[in-house]
Amino acid sequence: MDPHELLLTAARAAAVYAVMLIVLRLSGKRAIGNFTAFDLLVALMLGEVVDEIIYGDVEFLQGLVPIVVVTLLQVGTSWLSYWDHGWDRVLEGVPSVIVRHGELDRSGMRAERMNPKDVMAELRQSGVDDLREVKLATVENDGRVSVLKEDWAEELQKGDVDPKLKKQRKADTAGSDEPPPDKQTDSEQSLGHQA
C-alpha cells in the first residue's frame, strides 16, 4: 500500500465526516431518530455517495454535489410535510390501524402485511396481555406500533387520587374528561384520514 494513498483516504474520510455532520444538523433530530421510508432512502443514498468519495472513486467536489442535492431535497420535503398540504401523505404515508376496540382490524393488518402473531408480539412489547384492553393500535409512519388502551384499562394516575392534582387536572382540561377533537391522538384527523 502506498502511504500517500492511505493519507489521501484518511483526509477524504475526515472531510466527508465533517460534511456529514453538517448534513445531519441540517436534517434535524428526526433524521437520526426513527426512520420513515423516505429517511431510510436518504440514508442509503448518502451512504453510497460517501463510500465513493472516501475511496476516491469520484472526485471530492463531484461527490459533494449529490450530498448537497439529496440533503436539500430531504429538507425541502420535510418542510412540505410540515406545512401539510397533502404532501405528508404522499411522502410519509398514513398510519394504519391494526386493532380497534379489542378487535383485529384485518384491512390495516393486510396493508402492513402483519398476521395476528405479529400484532400480538407488538402488543406484548407494549405491555398489553389482553387484546380487549386495546382501544387503538396503530402502525405509525416510522414502523413503530403505538397502543392506546381502553379507558377502563388505563393505569391509575396521581391525579385520580391526590386532591391537589385532581384540581389541577380539572383546571388544565376545563373540567372535561374527553379531549376536544384537535387534542385527540386517536381521531381520524390525527391519523391522516379526512375528518
* Cα gap 126→140, rounded to integer Å: 14
Positions in the chain short of pLDDT 70: 1, 27-38, 85, 186-195
Q: What is the pLDDT of residue 192?
A: 63
* Cα gap 123→132, rounded to integer Å: 11
Task: Check: CB of residue 34 under 8 Å from CB of residue 142.
Answer: yes
pLDDT in tens, 8-53: 888 888 888 888 878 777 766 555 555 666 677 777 888 888 888 8
Average pLDDT of the chain, as a whole number: 82
Secondary structure of the chain in the HEC alphabet? CCHHHHHHHHHHHHHHHHHHHHHHHHHCHHHHCCCCHHHHHHHHHHHHHHHHHHCCCCCHHHHHHHHHHHHHHHHHHHHHHHHCCCHHHHHHCCCEEEEECCEECHHHHHHCCCCHHHHHHHHHHCCCCCHHHEEEEEECCCCCEEEEECHHHCCCCHHHHCHHHHHHHHHHCCCCCCCCHHHCCCCCCCCCCCC
Q: What is the pLDDT of residue 191?
A: 64
Q: What is the pLDDT of residue 120?
A: 95
Residue among 100, 110, 164 nearest 136 (CA): 100
